[in-house]
Amino acid sequence: MTQTSSPTPLVQITDLSRHFGANQAVKNISFTLNPGEVLGFLGPNGAGKSTTMQMICGNLAPTTGQIIINGHDLMDEPIAARSNIGYLPENPPLYRELTVDEYLDYCARLHRIPYGEVAQAIDFAKAHCGLEQVGKRLIGNLSKGYQQRTGIAQAIIHQPAVVVLDEPTVGLDPIQIREIRELIKNLGQDRGVILSTHILPEVQATCNRVQIIRQGELIFSGSIETLNRQGQGKQMRVAFARPPNPAQLQQQLATEQISQIDPQRFQIQLDQALLAEKLVRISVDQDWGLFELVPDNSSLEDIFVELTRSDSASQNREEAA
């Protein structure tokens, strides 16, 4: 029987840390990025996302740890490693007085693309980013959405194996956001993409795997489905024809995790299976007239807030292999 080998990671991060004086901004994080993945790097502001992205791209030296980019150690082979990375920082490095074509020509030369291949590289980047019709326009005269597209184009003009995008939709309108998200998904089809953001719909719309960082520590790594399962089975919504008062319900169920939605409905946080059995039995005994008992799963936003605020979040939650 032939075994299917796992793909060689495009990015392999091992025990990566960064200190700024006495402050440890990133704390011994490790993860991988495989071909065809769009990895959402999620966390609240100040969690260490941008610091991690800058280290991966070689713009900031790590205090400790190892970064392997497409088989090249970033510290030992910096030029080879960086040639495999395309980076869009939160504030794109655009020259507003240049046209799109002039700017991309400049970027191609920075990446040492041979002179005879520059035009082809520009056409490649513009085609992938929907810029074919604006090549002769000044970047300063473009909309914010097209400026972001131009920033992404400079990140992929040398056709890197890995593309790192830091908050790529900040400041865009809803239509522009949708267009950039679709572009990101397309980029992830034949390369690895790391998307750093604190916007939850961004992750749901574009990523197939997510990592959450909190105070410099990696606290979750897994698929979107695994993250969603974090919020399942924790809450129930119940309704009674003759409802008890909240204090009586708390006493009978031996829990304080009860909130009243309306005069007849309550939200209770308990294990679903145990809650259902116990609640039905008590409701019959007390003649409460139970007529609704349904799961009330947490949203991705609720899960994110719980993970990033919980005292127990410092313990890594890894998806089962």
The CATH number linked to 155 is 3.40.50.300
Distance CA 252, CA 278 (A): 9
From 197, 222, 247, the end of a domain falls on: 222
Residues 272 and 182 in one domain: no
Residues 15 and 126 in one domain: yes
In a domain, 302, yes or no: no
Residues 131 and 266 in one domain: no
In a domain, 318, yes or no: no
Distance CA 113, CA 154 (A): 12
In a domain, 316, yes or no: no
Residues 125 and 256 in one domain: no
Categorize the per-residue pLDDT at 315 as very low, low, confident or very high, splitting at 50, 70 and 90. Answer: very low
Residues 165 and 251 in one domain: no
pTM of the model: 0.73
Residues 242 and 208 in one domain: no
Q: Among 39-53, 142-156, 262-276, 281-295, which is the least confidently predicted range?
A: 262-276
In a domain, 19, yes or no: yes
Residues 252 and 123 in one domain: no
Residues 50 and 77 in one domain: yes
- What range defines the domain where residue 272 resides? 235-295
Residue 5 has pLDDT above 80, yes or no: no
- pLDDT per residue over 83-126, tens digit each? 999 999 888 889 999 999 999 999 999 999 999 999 999 999 99
Residues 171 and 272 in one domain: no
What percent helix, strand, coil does the chain show, rounded to 5? 35, 25, 35
In a domain, 307, yes or no: no
Residues 67 and 188 in one domain: yes
- pLDDT per residue over 73-88, tens digit each? 999 999 999 999 999 9
Residues 239 and 198 in one domain: no
Report the chain's mean pLDDT, rounded to a whole number. Answer: 85
Instruction: Look at residue 259 in the predicted model and tell me its pLDDT.
Output: 80
Count of domains for the chain: 2
Contact present, 174 and 184 (Cβ < 8 Å)? no
Distance CA 12, CA 14 (A): 7
Distance CA 314, CA 238 (A): 33
Categorize the per-residue pLDDT at 320 as very low, low, confident or very high, splitting at 50, 70 and 90. Answer: very low
Residue 6 has pLDDT above 70, yes or no: no
Contact present, 98 and 145 (Cβ < 8 Å)? no
Residues 215 and 244 in one domain: no
